[in-house]
Amino acid sequence: MAAVFESPTFPLADFLGLTIDVPEPGRSVARLAAGTSQHNPHGVVHGGALFTLVDTGMGAATRSVLEEGELGVTIEVQIRFLRPVLEGDVTGTTRIVHRGRRVLHLDSEVRDAGAGSWPPPPAPTPSSGPRPVTPGPGRPGTPRPRPARDEAAVGPGVRAGVGNPAGSRGLAPNMSDQPLCLLTVHAHPDDEASKGSGSVARYVAEGVGAVLVCCTGGEAGDVLNPAVDTPEVRANLPAVRLQELRNSAAALGYRAVHLLGYHDSGMPDTDDNARPDNFANAPLEEAVGKLVAVIRAERPQVIVTYAEDREFYPHPDHIRVHEISGPAFDAAGDPDAYPELGEPWQPLKLYYTGFSRRRIEALDAAFRARGEESPYRQWFERGLPDRDDRFTTFVEVGDFLHKRREALLAHRTQVDPEGFWMRLPDDVIREVFPWEEFVLARSLVDTGVPEGEVEDDLFAGLRSGARAR
């Protein structure tokens, strides 16, 4: 077992008041008590102090997995500052995302306690696109479930060996000279039907191009519908699931489906998880490159992917989708990254799809009000976290629930039409929770949404009247 380091011993860390823990090999948590002693002449914490926090965390995470006699040094650090830090506790969580023979790739996310705001936020930019949801009874904007002072001070984007973030080179964002395009990244066949599919159908109906990336073939999945559980289906499950994927994509209106070609990684400690050709075991640079190639070919302004979830549903393929999406968002617009994969194209907004606790509670109550056994009871029993403060965007999909249902039913091996999940009618869902929720993880444009309100459009800031920020 690798040693656990509780704090660094070098003088600079002591001078800055920096402490660090390594709760497990490959992951570190660095903490800085920020105050005026670390301020620059402008009255905010010096970027060098935050850089030291990140670099020290990366060093600790690296040391925790090295063998005796091995030495780790920093090759490259790329960092994206989202807003200033004034004072208070600053925490940097670092983890190893890929380990090669000689190079480790790490990702660090820094968050501050959020004392104060500097400079004052600019006035929202008018936009002729759809406006934010107006707060009111039953609307997801009542109140906006996202404390403005809990944002990342240094955003996800500290990575070694992936390529410079396009924004750091001042590349012009891609605005209205290109038709609107939405690209979604999913782990397995059927994920595209269960996560954000109503929004895809809505945008397709509005004339937006939609492109699907599916990273694996879902080979490790089981047959969950007794009506199609036959020896023939099981013998040809990968081909069957691929056809189900194409049927679902057609129902939602995707114009293209791209397969990254990896084998399903299964869950930890399974035979599928040990396969060298699975998604989780693929070299990070290779998987990022495959996604970069799709982004450059399809030219989306908006990408929808997954947040990191290592607690409630830590599927290795879902985690890997998260790990490749941020680097690909950056590298796609960088001419120095993967130059062999086509002309650079910089996406402008990156979202995480997810399920709010509020949605699950509303659907659970609807099942019980009908006298039905709720399949969501088990979610609460498993400790469904309350992370509703993260959601920034609620897209109304009440008129497209039938398309979501059609896409789900296209996955005949995975969805039993008579099962619990399909028993709640669309008109009931439309009444209790007609939205799909997202987290705006990255934006290179001013969305035009006033602080404290939620978006109701993934393309906010990208329609006419939008401007880069």
Range with top average pLDDT, 110-114, 137-141, 370-374: 370-374
Those residues with Cβ within 8 angstroms of residue 214's Cβ, 6 or more apart along the chain or in another chain: 186, 187, 188, 189, 191, 192, 245, 257, 258, 259, 260
DSSP 373: P
What one-letter code names the amino acid at 228?
V
Residue 374 has pLDDT above 70, yes or no: yes
pLDDT of residue 142: 41
Query: What are the sequence ranges of the domains in the chain?
Result: 11-112, 172-443
Which tokens is 436 given? 């799909």
Q: Count CA atoms within 13 Å of residue 155 on its CB side.
A: 17
Q: Residues 37-79: pLDDT tens digits?
A: 888 888 888 888 888 888 888 888 888 888 888 888 887 776 7
Which tokens is 280 given? 């989780």
Are 209 and 203 within 8 A, CB to CB? no
Q: Residues 76-127: pLDDT tens digits?
A: 776 766 668 888 888 989 988 766 666 777 888 888 765 433 333 343 333 3
pLDDT of residue 63: 87
Which tokens is 134 given? 């107006």
> Phi and psi for 400 in degrees, rounded to 5?
-125, 15
> Higher confidence at residue 308 or residue 265?
265
CATH 3.30.930.10 fits 11-112, yes or no: no
User: Tokens 């609460």 belong to which residue?
Assistant: 380
Taking the C-alpha atoms of residue 91 and residue 30, their distance in angstroms, rounded to an integer, is 6
For the beta carbon of residue 388, count every other beta carbon within 10 angstroms: 16
Those residues with Cβ within 8 angstroms of residue 211's Cβ, 6 or more apart along the chain or in another chain: 181, 182, 183, 184, 254, 255, 256, 257, 258, 294, 298, 300
Residue 184 has pLDDT above 90, yes or no: yes
Q: Residues 276-295: pLDDT tens digits?
A: 899 999 999 999 999 999 99
Q: Count CA atoms within 13 Å of residue 138 on its CB side.
A: 7
Of 25-39, 149-163, 245-259, 303-317, the poorest mean pLDDT is in 149-163
pLDDT band at 268 (very low <50, low <70, confident <90, very high): confident
Taking the C-alpha atoms of residue 139 and residue 146, their distance in angstroms, rounded to an integer, is 15
Which tokens is 50 given? 């935050």
Taking the C-alpha atoms of residue 24 and residue 154, their distance in angstroms, rounded to an integer, is 23
Beta bridge mates, 211: 183, 256
Beta bridge mates, 439: 352
What one-letter code names the amino acid at 220?
A
pLDDT of residue 107: 81
The string of DSSP letters for 425-459 reads -HHHHHHH--EEEEEEEEESB---PPTT--BS-TT
Burial of 43 (0-12, 13-18, 19+ CB in 10 A): exposed
Are 153 and 80 within 8 A, CB to CB? no
- The arithmetic mean of pLDDT across residues 174-202, rounded, is 90
Are 254 and 199 within 8 A, CB to CB? no
The percent of residues in the chain predicted with pLDDT above 70, rounded, is 80
Per CATH, the number for 172-443 is 3.40.50.10320
Residue 466 has pLDDT above 80, yes or no: no
Averaged pLDDT score across all residues of the chain: 81
Spatial CA neighbour of 355 closest among 181, 188, 152, 197: 197
Residue 22 has pLDDT above 50, yes or no: yes
pLDDT of residue 211: 98
pLDDT band at 396 (very low <50, low <70, confident <90, very high): very high
pLDDT of residue 81: 67
Ramachandran region of residue 435, left (φ > 0), alpha (ψ -120 to 50) or beta?
Answer: beta
Residue 181 has pLDDT above 90, yes or no: yes
DSSP 337: S
Of 269-273, 318-322, 357-361, the poorest mean pLDDT is in 269-273
Q: Is the pTM of this model over 0.75?
A: no
Q: Count CA atoms within 13 Å of residue 112 on its CB side.
A: 25
Burial of 415 (0-12, 13-18, 19+ CB in 10 A): buried
Are 291 and 283 within 8 A, CB to CB? no
pLDDT of residue 380: 83
Taking the C-alpha atoms of residue 90 and residue 128, their distance in angstroms, rounded to an integer, is 38
3-state helix, strand, coil in the chain (%, to 5): 30, 20, 45
